[in-house]
Amino acid sequence: MKKIKKAPILGHIAYSVKGSYGINVLEPKYLAYRFNIFKNVTLKSFQAQTDQNFNIVLLHSAQLPQEYKDKFSKLEQENIFLHNNYVDDSQRSKDEVAAFVKYADDIAIDFTIDNDDAVPVDFIAKLKPYLQEAYLSHVLSIPKVSTIQRVKWDVFLKQDNYEIVNSIGLALVTSRKNYKSIYTAGFHSQVHTKYPVVLLLGSGGIRTINGRNAENELDFLPCLKCSGAQLRKNLKDSGYAEFDFSCLAVCPERQWLNFLIKGIKFIWRRIFSRNNRQIFYRTVK
């Protein structure tokens, strides 16, 4: 069994546990597609971290096929920070904090990310300065997000957005005495109702488009249209590892439907911002 290297920063990825999107996460095609993205995008972004003092727990359904249990076991052995945790679908995540966390003056940071997103190479380094009591029970968010959509074989769209609280690497500063997972904050767009939010500067994360819904589309903002090679260079200049986005499915542009979906998102965000003008934020470098 792999020896666990405890660290003060712990991440969670709900990889194959049932969610609220009506997706069968154990469907063979879905498993194959998602595994390829995870290995080539999400995992690679953590392998490239300049500060490797962290752990990540992958939350899996206990019903995950043995073929994939074997694949994830291999990834776990190859990556010292990666750990698999199998739970019943009726259970919430078992963080098993004691096994993975080494506190820094009784303080730790707990974060989450989806299994098809990525963070910049300095993500852990950005979180580390907040391992102090002054930031206890604060949420850490990096608003600058890049969304990637593959529209043709070697044609990609990249759009940069500024999203105050997004799910990519969203983190909570917590303590040994009363450890709380970022999951306790609820849906990411509502974390400010429970905790004050600290906004960090710089690149925050990459969101990949793999489906069609109002939350998984590009916005009204301008896009960069480029080849895979151009995209890799652009992202590298922004502080990311070098990714091979050929693992993404082709999602062609659909002009009239995209306009409708973007309109829905625009209206929803206007309503959200109007109802939440009294949010407490602290912006730091």
Residue by residue, DSSP assigns 98-137 as HHHB--BTTEEEEEE--TTEE--TTHHHHHGGG-SGGGTT
43 near 82, Cβ under 8 Å? yes
* Residue 228 pLDDT: 97
pLDDT band, residue 269 (cuts 50/70/90) = low
Question: Angle 42-192-165 (CA atoms, 0-180°, nearest 5)?
Answer: 30
Helix (H/G/I), strand (E/B), else coil: 87:
strand
Per DSSP, the chain holds a count of helices (H) and strands (E) of 7, 13
Query: Does 9-284 carry CATH code 3.90.550?
Result: yes
* Residue 260 pLDDT: 66
- Residue 263 phi, psi (nearest 5): -65, -40
- Prediction pTM value: 0.88
Query: How much is the mean pLDDT over the chain?
Result: 87
pLDDT band, residue 277 (cuts 50/70/90) = very low
Residue 271 pLDDT greater than 70, yes or no: no
* Residue 4 pLDDT: 86
131-188 per-position pLDDT tens digit: 999 999 999 999 999 999 999 999 999 999 999 889 999 999 999 999 999 988 877 7
Residues comprising the chain, all counted: 285
* Residue 190 pLDDT: 81
pLDDT band, residue 90 (cuts 50/70/90) = low
209 near 217, Cβ under 8 Å? yes
Please state, in angstroms and rounded to a whole number, the distance separating the CA atoms of residues 101 and 10.
7
* Residue 152 pLDDT: 95
Please state, in angstroms and rounded to a whole number, the distance separating the CA atoms of residues 92 and 20.
13
Residue 244 pLDDT greater than 50, yes or no: yes
181 near 90, Cβ under 8 Å? no
Please state, in angstroms and rounded to a whole number, the distance separating the CA atoms of residues 256 and 266.
15
